[in-house]
Amino acid sequence: MFTLEGIREFHRWTHVNVTMVLDYLVSIPEGDYTREVGGFGFPTLREQVIHILNCEGFWVRSLQGFSYVDREPAAYPEVGDARLMQQEVGEQTVKYLAGLTDEQLNVETRLKFPGGETHLRTPARVLHHIFTHAYRHEGQIVAMCRALGHPPLDAHVISIQ
CATH code for position 81 = 1.20.120.450
The whole-angstrom separation of Cα 40 and Cα 136 is 12
Q: Express each pLDDT in 29-55 by its tens digit.
A: 989 999 999 999 999 999 999 999 999
Give yes or no for residue 135 having a pLDDT over 90. yes
User: What is the domain count for the chain?
Assistant: 1
Looking only at the bridges linking them, the beta strands covering 118-121 and 109-112 are antiparallel
Per-residue confidence (pLDDT) for residue 159, from 0 to 100: 67
Model confidence band, residue 59 (pLDDT cutoffs 50, 70, 90): very high
Which CA distances in Å does 110 have to 65, 66, 69, 119, 158?
9, 12, 20, 6, 34
* Residue-number span of the structural domain to which 136 is assigned: 4-159
Could you tell me if 22 and 83 are in contact, meaning their C-beta atoms sit under 8 angstroms apart?
yes
100-131: per-residue pLDDT in tens?
999 999 999 999 888 889 999 999 999 999 99
